[in-house]
Structure 1
Amino acid sequence: MNESPNPLPAPAPPVSTVAPGVAVSTLAAPSRRKPGSGRSTRRISRHLRAIRIGLTGLILLTLLYTVAISKSLLVPLVLAGFIGLALNPIVAAAGRWRIPRWLAAVVVMLLLGAGLVTAVGTLSTPALNWFHEAPSAMRAFAPKIKPMTQQIEAASRATQTLVGGAVVRNTQQPNTFAFTAWDIVATAPKIIASVLTVALLVFFFLVYGDEILRRAVEISPTFAYKRHTVSIVRSIQVEVSSYLLLTAAINVTLGLVTAGMLYLYGVPDPLLWGCFATVANFIPYVGAISTTTVLAVVGALHFQELGPALLPAATFAGITAVEGNMITPMLQGRRSRLSPVAILLWLLLWGWIWGIPGAILAVPMLTCVKLITAKLRGWEWFAHIISR
C-alpha cells in the first residue's frame, strides 16, 4: 500500500516579546503619517485663520472708508428708504381700497410736504430771532454763571500755585456769533436740492417698492432662497415700519407735551423747543441730554432766579425718564428692544462717519441689522448680542 505523505507541520505561534504578567493590548496598524505632519497642519491652519481675519479687517475698513466718502449719496438714499418704509403701510392700506399706489403716494407726499412747509414757516421766525440774539443772550448769561466761574478760576490758580506754575490769564476776546441773511441765501440751494432728492426717492420707493421686491425674488436661484428673501424683506417692512411709525408718534407726543409744559412755565417760543425735542429724541440718550441742556440755558436766559431757571429742564428730564423707561418699552415690546451698549457704540460709529444724520439714522439701521442677522444662518449670535 502506498503510504500517504506526511502532513505539513502547523505554523508556530508568534513569539510574544511582552514580559510575563503584562496585559497584551490589541496591536494597532502602524501609522503612515510622516513625523511632524500634525504640527505642520496645525501651523498651516493658524496661518490661514490669521490671513482670513486680516482680510476680513481690510474689507471692513474698505467698506467704512467707502461709506464715509459716499456720505452725500448714501445719506439721502438711506433716509428716503426709512421714510418710505414708515409710509408704506399707509399706501398699502389705500391699495386694499382699490386706490392706485401712485395716487396714494402723491396724496401722502402732498400732505407730508404741506406739514413740513407749515412747520418751517411757523418756526423759522423764532429760530432766526434766537440766532440773531445769541451774542447778546450769551453776554447776558455770562454774569449769571460768574460766581461759578470765579470758584473754578480760584481752584485753578490754587492748583497752579501748588505745582509751582505761573498763573496764565486769558486775554482773548470771545468770538462773536455772526449769522446773516447771505448765509441763508448761500445754503438754501443745497438744502432745497437735498429735500427734493429725498422727496423723489421716497415717492419712487412708495410706488415701485413691491416691484423691486418681486425682482429681487425672481433673481434668487432656488425656491428656498426665494422664500428666505421674501421672509427677510417682509419682516423688515413690517417691523421697521411699525418701529418707525411708533417712534415718530412717541417723539411728536413728547414734543407737544414739552411745548405745553414750556407754555405753562412762560418760556418764550415753546413750539420751537418742542420741535427741537421731537427731532433730538430720535437720537437715543444723546437727544434727551442735549434737549435738557438747551432748556437749562433757555431757562437761565429767561428767568433771573436759579429755581425757576432750572425748572423747565428738570421737568423735561422727568418726562423723558418716564417716556424712556415706561412708555416706549411698553409700546414697542421686547422684539424691537436693543442693548443700550450696542446703541451707544452704533451711535458713536455712525456719528463719527456721517455726523448728525448718521446719529439720527443709527438706531433704524441697527434694527434692520438685527432683523437680517436673526434670519441668516450663522449670524444669529450677532442678533442675540445686540438684543436687550
Structure 2
Amino acid sequence: MDQPPVIRRAEVVAFALVALLIIALVTVLYFAKAFFLPVATAFIVGTMLSPAAGYLERCRVPRAVSAVLIVIAACAGVAFIVGLIVSPVLEWSTRLPELGALLKEKMHMFDRPLALWQQFQALLGGSEAVPGATFTMPKFEWVQPTFEFLSPTFTELLLFIATLILFIASWRDLRRALVMTFGEHDTRLRTLKILNEIETSLGGYLLMVTMINLGVGVATGLICALTGMPNPAGLGALAAILNFFPIIGPVATFVVLVAVGIMSFSTFSAGMMAPLAFVGLTFIEGHFVTPTIIGRRLELNALAVLIALAFWTWLWGPMGGFLSSPLLIVALILKEHLMPEDTPQLPRE
C-alpha cells in the first residue's frame, strides 16, 4: 500500500482527454470533408509547388503571377493525362455488353476452381454448390456510385483552385507570420527549420515522384505497344496516375491490364504478357529506382505507409490516399524536430 501507483489518476485523465480530442478531430474531418479536403489538399500541394514559385520570383516574376502560372500549368498537365485516359474509357463504355459477354466467354477456364470453391463452401455449411457452375459477370450497378465517389463537386474543385493560388502567392508572408507568432528566439528558429524542411522535403518528393511516375507511365505504354495491347497511351497514362497512390495504384493497374489483355487476345498467355511485364517494372521501380532517387531520408516504413493509406483513404477517399504519404512525411519531420534523437531513450535490448 505504500508503493506509488503505476499509473496515476492524472495520467489516466490526460490520456482520456487526448483520446477524446483525437476522436473529435477525426469526426469533424470526416463529416466536414467538403471543406477540409480541398483546403488541406491545397495546403499540401501548395507547399510542394512553393519552391517553383520561389524560383520564378528569383527570375523577377511577381509572386502572384507565378502562382497563377504554376496552377495553370499543373491543371493543363493533369487535364492532358486525364484526356488520354478518358478517351478509351468512353469508347469502351459504349461496348460494355459486348465486352461483358466476351470476358464471360474467356473466363470459362475458371469454372473448375469456382466449382471447387462452392463445394468447399457447402462443406463448411455455406450455400449449396451448384453443379456445373459457370463464371458469371458482375452487374455494373457500381459504376455510378464509384464515379460519384471519385469525382469531386464543382464547389470543392473551385475552393481547391482558389485556395491553392492564394496559398502559393502568400506562402512567404504566412510563414513569416507563423514564425513571429512565438516569442522566444529558440522557438522561432525551430519553427523556421520545421517549415523550411517541410517545404524542401515535400517539393523534392513531388518532383521526384512525378518524374518516377511519368517514367512508369511511359514504360507501361511502351510495354503495351510492344505486346499489342489496345490504347497503349491511355494505359500508360492510367499507370502514371495510379502510381501516385502507393500500394493500391500498382495493384489496380495490374488488374486493369489483366482485364484488357484477356479481352484483347485470343489466348490467356498472350493476354498476360503485358501484366507480367508490368509486375517486373513495378518491382524494379519499387526496390531500386525509387529508393535510389528519393534517398533514404524520405524512405518510409512500409507498415506506416499502409496504415496511413488505409486511414486517409477511409477518411477522405481517393484524394486522402494521395495525401497519405505527404502527410506522413510532415508527421515524421515534426517528430524529428519536436522529439529529437538526443532525448532520453529506452535502453536497447
Question: Given the two structures, how large is their TM-score scaled by the length of structure 1?
Answer: 0.79
Task: Give the Å deviation of 1:140.
Answer: 1.0
Structure 2: stretches of 5+ with no match in the other structure: 344-349
Aligned to 1:320: 282
Task: Check conservation: 1:282, 1:360, Cα contact below 8 A.
Answer: yes
User: Given the alignment, which residue of 239, 252, 260 partners 2:222?
Assistant: 260
Cα-to-partner distance string for 1:291-349 (whole Å, 9 max, x where unaligned)? 11111111001011111100110000100100110011001111111111111111111
Task: Check conservation: 2:35, 2:156, Cα contact below 8 A.
Answer: no
Aligned to 1:372: 334
Aligned to 1:104: 66
- Residues 1:124 and 2:82 are matched in the alignment: no
Cα RMSD for the two superposed structures: 3.1
Aligned to 1:150: 112
Aligned to 1:282: 244
Task: Check conservation: 2:194, 2:337, Cα contact below 8 A.
Answer: yes
Task: Give the Å deviation of 1:189.
Answer: 10
Aligned to 1:177: 140
- Return the alpha-carbon distance in structure 1 between the equivalents of residues 126 and 193 of structure 2: 70
Cα-to-partner distance string for 1:132-185 (whole Å, 9 max, x where unaligned)? 3233212211122223123321453366369798546899x866437999x99x
Aligned to 2:181: 219
3-state SS of 2:8 partner: helix
Distance 1:57 1:97, change over 3 A: same
Distance 1:125 1:47, change over 3 A: same
Task: Check conservation: 2:115, 2:129, Cα contact below 8 A.
Answer: no
Cα-to-partner distance string for 1:219-278 (whole Å, 9 max, x where unaligned)? 112111111111110110111110111111111111111112112222111122112111
Aligned to 1:331: 293
Distance 1:91 1:161, change over 3 A: closer
Cα-to-partner distance string for 1:1-44 (whole Å, 9 max, x where unaligned)? xxxxxxxxxxxxxxxxxxxxxxxxxxxxxxxxxxx5x44xx249
- Residues 1:203 and 2:165 are matched in the alignment: yes
Task: Check conservation: 2:99, 2:263, Cα contact below 8 A.
Answer: yes
3-state SS of 1:99 partner: coil
Task: Check conservation: 1:251, 1:278, Cα contact below 8 A.
Answer: yes
Task: Give the Å deviation of 1:86.
Answer: 2.3
Aligned-pair identity in percent equals 24
Aligned to 1:88: 50
- Return the alpha-carbon distance in structure 1 between the equivalents of residues 183 and 204 of structure 2: 31
Cα-to-partner distance string for 1:341-363 (whole Å, 9 max, x where unaligned)? 11111111112212222111101
Distance 1:118 1:276, change over 3 A: closer
Aligned to 2:264: 302
- Residues 1:141 and 2:103 are matched in the alignment: yes
* AA aligned opposite 2:58: R
- Return the alpha-carbon distance in structure 2 between the equivalents of residues 58 and 178 of structure 1: 39
- Return the alpha-carbon distance in structure 2 between the equivalents of residues 208 and 356 of structure 1: 28
Aligned to 1:19: none
Aligned to 1:8: none
Larger radius of gyration: 1
- Return the alpha-carbon distance in structure 2 between the equivalents of residues 132 and 98 of structure 1: 50
Q: How many residues align?
A: 340
- Residues 1:344 and 2:339 are matched in the alignment: no
User: Given the alignment, which residue of 273, 288, 295 partners 1:311?
Assistant: 273
* AA aligned opposite 1:321: F
Distance 1:107 1:161, change over 3 A: closer
- Return the alpha-carbon distance in structure 1 between the equivalents of residues 10 and 287 of structure 2: 47
Question: Given the two structures, how large is their TM-score scaled by the length of structure 2?
Answer: 0.87
